[in-house]
Amino acid sequence: MSLEFIPPAKPIIGDAEREAVDRVLRSGMIAQGPEVAEFEREFAAHFVQGRETVAVNSGTSGQHLGLLAAGVGPGDEVIVPSFTFAATGNSVALTGATPVFVDIEPDYYSLDPQAVRAAITPNTKGIMPVHLYGHPFLVDQIEAIAHEHGLAIYEDAAQAHGASWGGRSVGTIGDFAMFSLYPTKNMTSGEGGMVSCANGDLARNVRLLRNQGMETQYENEVVGFNARMTDVHAAIGRVQLTRVNGWTEQRQRNASVITDGLAGVSGVTVPRVADGAVHVYHQYTIRVDADERERMRNALKDEYGVGSGVYYPIPNHRLPSLAHYASELHLPETERAASEVLSLPVHPSLTEKDLGRIVDAVTAVAGAGA
Ligand SMILES: *Cc1c(COP(=O)(O)O)cnc(C)c1O
3-state per-residue secondary structure call for 249-291: HHHHHHHHHHHHHHCCCCCCECCCCCCCEECCCCCEEEECCCC
Q: Is residue 1 part of a domain?
A: no
Q: How far apart are CA 84 and CA 158, in angstroms?
A: 11
Q: Is residue 9 part of a domain?
A: no
Q: What pLDDT score does 2 carry? A: 65
Percent of the chain with pLDDT over 90: 97
> Are residues 153 and 57 part of one domain?
yes
pLDDT level of residue 367 (50, 70, 90 thresholds):
confident
> Are residues 132 and 204 part of one domain?
yes
- At residue 57, the 3 state secondary structure works out as coil
In tens, the pLDDT along 76-89 reads 999 999 999 999 99
The domain of 190 spans: 15-102+109-241
Give the rounded distance of the alpha carbon of 231 from its chain centre.
Answer: 23
pLDDT level of residue 327 (50, 70, 90 thresholds):
confident
Residues facing 124 on adjacent strands: 77
Please choose from 63, 180, 181, 341 the residue to mutate so as to test ligand 1's pocket, defined by most ligand atoms within 8 A of CB. Answer: 180
> What single DSSP character describes residue 323?
G
Q: Which residues of 203-236 are buried (b: 16+ CB within 10 A; e: fewer)?
A: bbbbbbbbbbbeeeeeeeeeebbebbbbbbbbbb
Residues with CB under 6 A from ligand 1: 58-60, 84-85, 87-88, 130, 156, 158-159, 180, 182, 193
- Cβ(64)–Cβ(91) below 8 Å: yes
Among the atoms of ligand 1, which is closest to the Cα of residue 282? 15
Residue with the smallest CA separation from ligand 1 atom 10 is: 87
Q: Is residue 4 part of a domain?
A: no
> Are residues 274 and 194 part of one domain?
no
> Are residues 252 and 219 part of one domain?
no
pLDDT level of residue 361 (50, 70, 90 thresholds):
very high
Nearest to 268 by CA among 257, 279, 259: 259
> Are residues 68 and 142 part of one domain?
yes
Mean pLDDT of the chain: 97
E strands within 58-182? Answer: 77-81, 98-102, 124-127, 152-156, 164-165, 168-169, 176-180
Per DSSP bridges, beta strands 164-165 and 277-278 are antiparallel
Ligand 1: centre distance to CA 156 (Å): 8
The domain boundary, picked from 172, 207, 241, lies at 241
The average pLDDT across 122-130 equals 98
Q: What pLDDT score does 370 carry? A: 58
Least confident interval from 11-15, 256-260, 323-327? 323-327
In tens, the pLDDT along 179-189 reads 999 999 999 99
- Cβ(59)–Cβ(158) below 8 Å: yes
Among the atoms of ligand 1, which is closest to the Cα of residue 84? 13
> Are residues 293 and 220 part of one domain?
no
The domain boundary, picked from 191, 226, 241, lies at 241
In tens, the pLDDT along 274-312 reads 999 999 999 999 999 999 999 999 999 999 999 999 999
Ligand 1: centre distance to CA 316 (Å): 14
Residues facing 197 on adjacent strands: 52, 176
Max CA pair span of the chain:
68
Q: What pLDDT score does 368 carry? A: 83
pLDDT level of residue 63 (50, 70, 90 thresholds):
very high
Q: Is residue 48 part of a domain?
A: yes
CA distances from 126 to 93, 100, 109, 171 (A): 14, 10, 19, 16
Ligand 1: centre distance to CA 154 (Å): 14
> Are residues 364 and 270 part of one domain?
yes
E strands within the chain? Answer: 52-56, 77-81, 98-102, 124-127, 152-156, 164-165, 168-169, 176-180, 193-197, 277-278, 284-287, 341-344
The domain boundary, picked from 241, 275, 301, lies at 241
pLDDT level of residue 106 (50, 70, 90 thresholds):
very high
Residue 368: what residue type? A
Q: What pLDDT score does 176 carry? A: 98
The average pLDDT across 49-78 equals 97
- Active site amino acids: 185
Q: Is residue 5 part of a domain?
A: no
Residue with the smallest CA separation from ligand 1 atom 2 is: 158
Q: What pLDDT score does 369 carry? A: 72
Ligand 1: centre distance to CA 157 (Å): 8
Residue with the smallest CA separation from ligand 1 atom 6 is: 59
Q: What order of strands is seen across the sheet that includes strand 277-278?
A: 168-169, 164-165, 277-278
> Are residues 63 and 172 part of one domain?
yes
Q: Does 225 score more than 80 pLDDT?
A: yes
Among the atoms of ligand 1, which is closest to the Cα of residue 91? 10
Q: Is residue 150 part of a domain?
A: yes
Nearest to 157 by CA among 122, 188, 196: 196
- At residue 100, the 3 state secondary structure works out as strand
Residue with the smallest CA separation from ligand 1 atom 14 is: 158
Give the rounded distance of the alpha carbon of 316 from its chain centre.
Answer: 15
Q: Does 1 score more than 60 pLDDT?
A: no
Q: What pLDDT score does 123 carry? A: 98
Q: Is residue 6 part of a domain?
A: no
Q: Is residue 206 part of a domain?
A: yes
C-alpha radius of gyration, the chain, whole number:
21
Please choose from 84, 156, 176, 285 the residue to mutate so as to test ligand 1's pocket, defined by most ligand atoms within 8 A of CB. Answer: 156
> Are residues 296 and 219 part of one domain?
no
The average pLDDT across 261-265 equals 95
Number of structural domains, the chain?
Answer: 2
Ligand 1: centre distance to CA 367 (Å): 35
Q: How far apart are CA 241 and CA 236, in angstroms?
A: 9
Among the atoms of ligand 1, which is closest to the Cα of residue 192? 7
Cis peptide before 312 (omega within 30 of 0): yes
> Are residues 155 and 45 part of one domain?
yes
> Are residues 334 and 294 part of one domain?
yes
The average pLDDT across 313-331 equals 93
Q: CATH code at 337? A: 3.90.1150.10
Establish how many alpha carbons lie within 13 A of residue 334's alpha carbon, considering only the half-sphere containing its beta carbon.
21
In tens, the pLDDT along 19-51 reads 999 999 999 999 999 999 999 999 999 999 989
Percent of the chain with pLDDT over 70: 99
The average pLDDT across 213-221 equals 94
The average pLDDT across 11-23 equals 97
Ligand 1: centre distance to CA 24 (Å): 26
Q: CATH code at 91? A: 3.40.640.10
The average pLDDT across 199-206 equals 98
Q: How far apart are CA 284 and CA 255, in angstroms?
A: 7
Please choose from 78, 133, 137, 159 the residue to mutate so as to test ligand 1's pocket, defined by most ligand atoms within 8 A of CB. Answer: 159
